[in-house]
A and B are shown apart, each in its own frame.
Chain A
Amino acid sequence: MSTLNRRGFMKVSGALVGAMMAAGLVTGHAFAADYPTAKVNTTGLAVTDTTVKVGILHSATGTMAISETGSIQAEKLAIEQINAMGGILGRKIEVIQEDGASDWPTFAEKAKKLLEKDKVASVMGCWTSASRKAALPVFEKDNGLLFYPTFYEGLEQSKNVFYTGQEATQQILAGLDWIAKEKKAKTFYLIGSDYIWPRTSMKIARKHIEQHLGGKVVGEEYIALGDTQFGSVINKIKLKKPDVIYAAVVGGSNVAWFKQLNAAGLNSSKQTMLTISVTEDEVLGIGGENLAGFYSAMKYFQSQDNDANKKFVEAFKKRWGKDAVIGDVTQAAYLGPWLYKAAVERAGSFDVDKVQAALPGYEFKDAPEGPVTVEANHHLTTKLRIGQWGKDGQAKVVYTSGYIKPDPFPKGYQ
């Protein structure tokens, strides 16, 4: 029995490594002996001859667990795959997972614990902007390294953070351009949840619509987080008859919003809507039938048809169950460990300063979303994709932009 298990294991792991080699993920074998610990770790990080400690810091409990679970899964998967290939500079990654518990001060506290007590070499983590802002001073003070996966409002750039999601202009401008051209849209109704990300995003969207597209914003509305009653807002929209609803509603409200919109007769045959807050993860809760025909602007969709993505989706489902879905942020979280590995290998060192310096300019060719490049401002150059949702909860990519450089401090949009 045990030989059978062992054989089975060898077969699986062999196939896994084989698949990765085919995907070109194996960039060259590095052996720990070529990189003595004394040389690659001069600042006292938790790096030994055989292991390197990496932290994962997300909310596994509390309201944000809904969103952050996917990121944890993607990061763990990437780390397991990296370990199966021999680790980083011959060192296996040991994960230390901490729970931010959807509470922003806890994020700061746990970041401190990871950096000062565990001496982790890098951290994959944070999700909401609030949690990132809370942990940021810790990372800057202790000179830590954070890979942050969420698309966010921009207006930030720290040498201690790499942002693997899109900043606001990358997600907004090309999407608006597309819908204005494709749907001849002139009037827009902006609606979002009431906190920093939707408000900043809508500010950028309004400027772009008014100054560059010659369109008109006929309504702008913010919904308290967690509100589930949209009757009055929907009636207002019906009265204004916008060409496009541009939406950034999040969390539990998101589901109520789409369900009630549909129930009120505003489905995709009558109303065009582009959202920047719906990924495959949200669709699970909203239900494909309530979304069918509406558009999302994201850099990644699970349905993307390329080899790297097919392998990623397959591996993800194998690891986390066949019903698992992968949203934009989950994919961005998956990039974190891979980018970290590349950075360390380029630097030939785990020292944070050297890793930071080594990553910009790196092109990650095998990202599931397609090739991405790390820029000097620590954000990624990516493409934007517009997906049209189907009843099955998957999006069909109907438009792919060219490469968009990240611009976290956009001039004329602030």
Chain B
Amino acid sequence: MFGYSMAEIGNIVVMQGFSGLSMFTVLLLMALGLAIIFGQMGVINMAHGEFMTIGAYTTVMISKVAASYGFTDYYFIFAIIIAFGLAFAVGYLVEFAIIRHLYKRPLDTLLATWGLSLVMQQIFRSTFGAKEVSAELPEWMLGSVNPTPDIDIPINGLFVMGLAALVTFGVYMFMYKSRWGLRVRATVQNRTMAGAVGINTAKVDRVTFALGCGIAGIAGAAFTTIASTGPTTGTLYIVDSFMVVVFGGAASIVGTIASAFGIAQAQSVLQFFMTSSMGKVSTLLAIVTILMMKPEGLFASKLRK
């Protein structure tokens, strides 16, 4: 077939399948934090990418420390925890200083967070320099696993996959199985009523926003394994993140997962058969068409209007 042996085609199908899955988990990690903030609070956080960058720079810094103290092999665990903590803290402050004054003016949050993203980019540039930097990866994360000699499964892809699964599970538990999640959902459904039964809705908002930012921080940490870190790294991810969230239906985490999966598989397959740019264009066209027919996205929230 096309001058290739069946074995070769089989190998490519396996690797291509993995590359699609890997892109799916990357998109999912990008979008989860945004889905929480946008979906639960209706805040359009244009600075989402910059919270990822916080996580990425944290990882780069910790990798430098790790290299000089000789714990490079397992620094990543610390990096992820600290990245989450830092992004969470910054998110908490941002909500307190800016976002909470704008809940009644959703379009203004767009402008305010976009301004915030520019400010953050320049802070990164002034602090870490304009050049792109790279985290030194532990030896075990480089290279690939070979189930057969001709199949290479990238280890960093597996790592991101595992992390995405963990974070998604964590978010699910938080939102649907914890007291906090209950309060968040109550606030989303009926803010006044939630306040009336004694839920501190201001605090719920703050934690929800900070949580979304924290997850962005984790995503940023994870992406140091596949790309570099620079002051404007966040802008590379923001469009894809929004695409996933909007396509999935704003208020649904299941929708976000389904949408990330659909977009990743479509893009990955199309890019294989077309050129890379055409693959991307075709995916975007398909998304626009579907959104025209289903403006609320794949999984619309079932709220009474």
Contact partner of A61 (CB less than 8 A), chosen from B20, B122, B157, B226, is B122
Instruction: Tell me, yes or no, whether A398 is within 8 Å of chain B by CB.
Output: no
Pick the most buried of A70, A228, A289: most chain B CB atoms within 10 A of its CB: A228
B154 touching A65, Cβ below 8 Å: no
CB < 8 Å: which of A66, A252, A285 contacts B236?
A252
Most chain A C-beta atoms within 10 Å of own C-beta, residue among B18, B122, B130, B136 = B130
Please judge, given known A-B contacts A239-B4, A239-B8, A259-B227, whether A222 and B276 are in contact too, CB under 8 Å. yes
Does A23 sit at the interface, judged by CB under 8 A? no
Q: Which residues of A contact B19 (CB under 8 A)?
A: 231-232, 234-235
Q: Which residues of B contact A61 (CB under 8 A)?
A: 122, 125, 130
What's the least CB distance linking A308 to chain B, in Å?
25
A259 and B51 CA atoms in complex are apart in Å by 23
In the complex, chain A residues 148-167 whose Cβ is within 8 Å of any chain B Cβ = none
Are B130 and A263 within 8 A (Cβ)?
no
Say whether A263 contacts B155, CB under 8 Å: yes
Any A CB within 8 A of the CB of B268: yes
Q: Is the CB of A263 within 8 A of B143?
A: yes
How far is the CB of B225 from the nearest CB of chain A, in Å? 7
Q: Whole-angstrom distance from the CB of A190 to the nearest CB of chain B?
A: 11
With a cutoff of 8 Å between Cβ atoms, the chain A residues found around residue B133 in the complex are 284-285
Chain B residues within an 8 Å CB radius of A20? none
* Residues on B with beta carbons closer than 8 Å to the beta carbon of A231: 16, 18-20, 22-23, 157, 268
Cβ distance A42 to chain B, nearest Cβ, rounded Å:
40
CB distance from A102 to the nearest CB of B (A): 9
A285-B228 contact in complex given A226-B236, A263-B142, C-beta closer than 8 Å: yes
- B residues near A282, Cβ cutoff 8 Å: 132
Chain B 129-172 interface mask (CB, 8 Å, partner A; 1/0): 11111101100001110100000101111000000000000000
Tell me which residues across on chain B come within 8 A of A286, comparing CB atoms: 134, 228
Given A63-B232, A231-B20, A256-B226, does the pair A223, B276 have CB atoms closer than 8 Å? yes
Residue A86 is within 8 A (CB to CB) of chain B in the complex = no
Main secondary structure of the interface of B (DSSP, over half): helix
B190 interfacial contact with A, CB 8 Å: no
In the complex, the answer to whether A263 meets B227 with C-beta atoms within 8 Å is: no
Q: State whether the Cβ of A363 lies closer than 8 Å to any Cβ in chain B.
A: no
Complex: A233 Cα to B276 Cα, angstroms:
7
Contacts of A222 in B (CB 8 A): 275-277
CA distance A263 to B137 in the complex (A): 11
Instruction: Quote the shortest CB–CB distance from B3 to chain A (angstroms).
Output: 10
Determine the residue in chain B with the shortest Cβ distance to A69.
Answer: B130
Partner of B152, one of A221, A255, A265: A265
Residue of B nearest to A265 (CB): B152
Give chain B nearest CB distance to A317 CB in angstroms: 15
Nearest CB of chain B from residue A247's CB, rounded to whole Å = 13
**Most A CB atoms within 10 A — which of B4, B125, B271, B280?**
B271
Check if B226 sits within 8 Å of A232, measured CB to CB: no
Cβ A259 vs Cβ B226 within 8 A: yes
Contact A232 B131 (CB under 8 A): no
Question: Which chain A residues border B131 with CB–CB below 8 Å?
Answer: 66, 69-70, 281, 284-285
Q: For the side of the interface on A, what is the size category?
A: 35 or more
Residue of B12, B142, B279 contacting most chain A CB atoms (<10 Å): B142
CB pair A285–B142 under 8 Å, yes or no, is no
Cα distance, A224 to B280, chains bound together (Å): 9
Closest to B129 in A: A69
Determine the distance from Cα of A373 to Cα of B245 in the docked complex, in whole angstroms. Answer: 56
Q: Which residue of B lies closest to A287 (CB)?
A: B134
Task: Determine the distance from Cα of A304 to Cα of B16 in the docked complex, in whole angstroms.
Answer: 41
State A271–B52 Cα separation when bound (angstroms).
33
Within 8 A of B (CB), among A48-72: 60-63, 65-66, 68-70
| Structural contact, A224 and B276, CB atoms closer than 8 A | yes
Query: How far does the alpha carbon of A231 sit from the alpha carbon of B156 in the complex, in Å?
Result: 12
Q: Which of A228-249 contact B (CB under 8 A)?
A: 228-229, 231-236, 238-239
With both chains docked as a complex, state the minimum distance between the C-beta of B99 and any C-beta of chain A, in angstroms.
26
* Residue of A66, A69, A286 most packed against chain B (CB within 10 A): A66
Asked if A264 CB lies within 8 Å of chain B CBs, one says: yes
Q: Determine the residue in chain B with the shortest Cβ distance to A285.
A: B132
Does A232 contact B227, Cβ atoms closer than 8 Å?
no
Whether A252 contacts B233 in the complex (CB less than 8 A), given A66-B132, A286-B134, A287-B136, comes out as: yes
Q: What's the Cα separation between A231 and B161 when bound, in Å?
A: 14
Interface centre among B23, B136, B156, B227 (most CB of A within 10 A): B227
Residues of A with C-beta under 8 A to B272: 232, 235-236
Contact yes or no, B156 A259, CB < 8 A: yes
Q: At the interface, yes or no: B83 with Cβ under 8 Å from chain A?
A: no
Assembly CA distance A191 to B283 (angstroms): 21
A228 to B236 alpha-carbon distance, docked (Å): 8
Residues of chain A within 8 A (CB-CB) of B22 are 231
Asked if B26 is at the interface of the complex by the 8 Å CB criterion, the answer is yes
Q: Whose C-beta in chain B lies nearest to the C-beta of A228?
A: B227
Asked whether, in the complex, the Cβ of B227 is within 8 Å of the Cβ of A265, the reply is no
Which residues in A have their C-beta under 8 angstroms from that of B232?
Answer: 62-63, 252
Q: Which of B1-32 contact A (CB under 8 A)?
A: 4, 8, 11-12, 15-16, 18-20, 22-23, 26
A229→B132 contact, CB < 8 A: no
Q: Does residue A129 face the partner (Cβ distance < 8 Å to B)?
A: no
Q: Are B146 and A265 in contact (CB under 8 A)?
A: yes
Chain B residues within 8 Å of A232, by CB: 16, 19, 267-269, 271-272, 276, 279
A68 to B131, alpha carbons, bound, how many Å? 9
- Assess whether B230 is interfacial by the CB under 8 Å rule: yes
Residues of B near A266 (CB, < 8 A) are 152
Chain A interface (Cβ < 8 Å from any Cβ of B): 60-63, 65-66, 68-70, 194, 221-224, 226-229, 231-236, 238-239, 252, 254-256, 259-260, 262-267, 281-282, 284-287, 289
8 contacts between A and B (CB under 8 A): A66-B130, A223-B276, A224-B277, A255-B132, A281-B131, A282-B132, A285-B132, A289-B137
B residues with a Cβ closer than 8 A to A are 4, 8, 11-12, 15-16, 18-20, 22-23, 26, 122, 125, 129-134, 136-137, 142-144, 146, 152, 154-157, 223, 225-233, 235-236, 267-269, 271-272, 275-277, 279-280
With A62-B232, A255-B134, A265-B152 already in contact, 9 other A-B pairs whose C-beta atoms are closer than 8 Å: A66-B131, A70-B131, A221-B276, A231-B19, A231-B20, A232-B269, A236-B272, A252-B232, A264-B15
